[in-house]
């Protein structure tokens, strides 16, 4: 006899299933309303006794509790050992009966889970759902909502302990932009509002280490979030999940067709299909479903990559970083780098570019240079080698990469942090970025030099027309210059459009959505002063009033 939730809140052993599909909906934000339809589509997919489907939903409404569902729990019990793929019932399903209840009581004072057990009649004794993790905790003598870090950690531990399986898939839906931003899995009511890339890597590493003890694997982490298909993310997650599914550009609530995804997983298990076939079909489902978003004017890109092969990027990336740093000291090579940066497919206020496309445009720009030199040749060689590593294929790093619509037509799978000027977020740059595993590629060192070498000279330092004497500032002007430099904090554009908030047309809230600030201030690399600053140890000259 197969038991579907045969671990009660008092403990015990549960049989290991084939799959556990974990859905973590970080929706304590304006995304919440759209999540309900996603939950319903998951329920409509049906069920299989060898596949656990667990979902956590955190509503936006203040005071609303976090819900954890074992999807189709009651239907599984009533079906005994049978399965059902794709619900054909004309009625609209509800998830209330699938909610996992702890010690919550009904109005008559009895436990809600006891009432459900009684309503099941002969199947009642088999209804022994585990107690779900709490969405809140007591801190400093008050009840506070868990941070995304603690919430995700508890959810994964709950699934590992109560729903063990040979293989796991984690679907994460919420605000994205984890590299250089502070909005990933944004939670309005938590004291710690978002999750950093380092903490995400640690959480998934801890989960992987736990399930590895029982010869289990995390086959896929699926980011139903904006701009998560980044090379920095891939590096941080290597050694955790085997594969990653994500977009370089925006993602939309509704673009992941969860009903069809689950139906493919159920059917593939029946057919004995291998894991790679299942993952490719999940990719195809998301891509095909997103074509219709073009009718609303939205473009889309998607990438499935093999995280076990990320290390193949390290050597060619080091060579490219080295060649680009060398090129910055050569006028012609620096122009080619700037123009290739300008050409390349970009995302989110020009803060990210597609790696493959940048390498392609580098090669093209260097090839068109009138006078070839050793620095241009080194850049071409390195860009071609890195591009070759990023070519797609079933047994390659990029398993699949496709686009729908013109806005992201030059996307090839993985993006790279490459703003035009130094980030204004001092917490992120350079300290946080330096702490990424991607640091081993020396890309940060190139960026630091790029920001310096491509910055325009201050107005008062630029060549003046013939016959015009150098301008001598007054004392007041000099003091104002110092104040201005301090006020700008070292970079221009902070008050402009240089945020990584969701722009119009992403399917999420617009500029009023208070989900954090970005790091790419402007495509203009202007200095935060109008004259050259004094070198250290140099005394100021005499000022006139």
Residue 411 has pLDDT above 70, yes or no: yes
Distance CA 97, CA 5 (A): 14
Residue 516 has pLDDT above 50, yes or no: no
Question: In a 3-state reduction of DSSP, which class is residue 415?
Answer: strand
Q: Which residue has the higher pLDDT, 441 or 146?
A: 441
Helix (H) or strand (E) holding 171: strand 165-173
Mean pLDDT of the 211-235 span: 96
Over residues 487-503, the pLDDT tens digits come to 555 444 333 333 333 43
Residue 49 has pLDDT above 70, yes or no: yes
Say what percent of the chain tops pLDDT 90.
56
Q: Which residue has the higher pLDDT, 504 or 367?
A: 367
Give the global pTM.
Answer: 0.86
Contact predicate 82/50, CB 8 Å: no
DSSP secondary structure string for all residues of 142-161: EEEEPPHHHHHHHHHHHHHH
Q: Which residue has the higher pLDDT, 210 or 457?
A: 210
Question: In a 3-state reduction of DSSP, which class is residue 4?
Answer: coil
Residue 54 has pLDDT above 70, yes or no: yes
Question: In a 3-state reduction of DSSP, which class is residue 27?
Answer: coil
Say what percent of the chain tops pLDDT 70.
84
pLDDT value, residue 529: 63
CATH topology of domain 17-311: Rossmann fold (3.40.50)
Distance CA 26, CA 187 (A): 7
Over residues 15-45, the pLDDT tens digits come to 899 999 999 998 766 777 788 889 999 999 9
Q: What is the dihedral of CA 167, 282, 29, 71, to 10 degrees?
A: -60
pLDDT value, residue 544: 41
Query: What contacts 213, CB < 8 A, 6 or more positions away?
Result: none
Domain range list for the chain: 17-311, 313-398+409-453
Q: What is the number of other CB atoms lying within 10 angstroms of the CB of residue 404?
A: 22
Q: Which residue has the higher pLDDT, 506 or 346?
A: 346
């Amino acid at each position: 006899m197969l038991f579907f939730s045969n671990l009660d809140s008092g403990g015990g052993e549960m049989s290991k299933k084939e799959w556990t599909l974990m859905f973590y909906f970080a929706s304590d934000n304006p995304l919440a309303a759209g999540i309900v339809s996603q939950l319903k589509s998951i329920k409509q997919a049906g069920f299989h006794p060898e596949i656990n489907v667990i979902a956590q939903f955190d509503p936006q409404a203040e005071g609303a509790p976090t819900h954890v569902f074992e999807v189709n729990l009651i239907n599984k019990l009533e079906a005994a050992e049978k399965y059902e793929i794709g619900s054909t019932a004309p009625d609209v399903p509800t998830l209330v009966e699938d909610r996992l209840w702890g010690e919550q009581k009904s109005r008559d004072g009895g436990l809600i889970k006891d009432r459900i057990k009684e309503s099941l009649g002969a199947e009642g004794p088999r209804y022994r759902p585990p107690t779900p993790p709490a969405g809140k905790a007591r801190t400093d003598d008050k009840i506070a909502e868990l941070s995304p870090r603690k919430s995700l950690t508890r959810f994964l531990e709950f699934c590992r302990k109560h729903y063990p399986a040979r293989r796991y898939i984690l679907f994460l839906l919420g605000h994205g932009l984890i590299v250089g931003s502070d909005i990933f899995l944004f939670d309005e009511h938590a004291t710690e509002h978002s999750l950093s890339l380092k903490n995400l890597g640690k959480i998934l590493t801890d989960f992987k280490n736990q399930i590895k003890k029982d010869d289990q694997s995390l086959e896929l982490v699926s980011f139903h979030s904006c701009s998560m298909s980044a090379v920095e993310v891939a590096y941080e997650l290597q050694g955790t999940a085997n594969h990653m599914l994500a977009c370089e550009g925006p993602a939309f609530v509704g673009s992941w067709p969860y009903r069809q995804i689950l139906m493919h997983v159920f059917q593939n298990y029946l057919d004995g299909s291998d894991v790679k076939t299942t993952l490719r079909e999940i990719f195809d489902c998301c891509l095909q479903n997103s074509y219709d978003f073009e009718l609303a004017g939205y473009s889309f890109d998607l990438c499935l990559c093999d995280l076990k092969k990320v290390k193949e990027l390290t050597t060619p990336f080091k060579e490219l970083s080295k060649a680009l740093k060398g090129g910055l000291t050569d006028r012609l090579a620096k122009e080619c780098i700037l123009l290739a940066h300008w050409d390349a497919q970009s995302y989110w206020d020009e803060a990210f570019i597609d790696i493959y496309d940048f390498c392609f445009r580098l090669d093209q720009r260097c090839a068109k240079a009138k006078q070839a030199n050793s620095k241009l040749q080194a850049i071409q060689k390195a860009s071609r080698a890195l591009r070759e590593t990023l070519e797609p294929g079933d047994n390659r790093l990029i398993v699949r990469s496709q686009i729908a619509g013109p806005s992201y037509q030059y996307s090839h799978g993985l993006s790279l942090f490459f703003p035009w000027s130094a980030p204004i977020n001092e917490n992120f740059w350079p300290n946080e970025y330096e702490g990424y595993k991607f640091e081993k590629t020396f890309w940060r060192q190139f960026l630091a030099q790029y920001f310096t070498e491509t910055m325009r000279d201050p107005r008062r330092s630029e060549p003046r027309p013939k016959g015009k004497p150098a301008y001598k500032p007054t004392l007041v002007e000099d003091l104002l210059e110092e104040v201005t430099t301090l006020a700008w904090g070292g970079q221009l554009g902070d008050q402009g459009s240089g945020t990584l908030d969701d722009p119009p047309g992403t399917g999420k809230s617009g500029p009023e959505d208070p989900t954090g600030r970005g790091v790419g201030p402007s495509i203009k690399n202007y200095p935060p002063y109008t004259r050259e600053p004094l070198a250290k140890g140099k005394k100021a000259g005499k000022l006139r009033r």
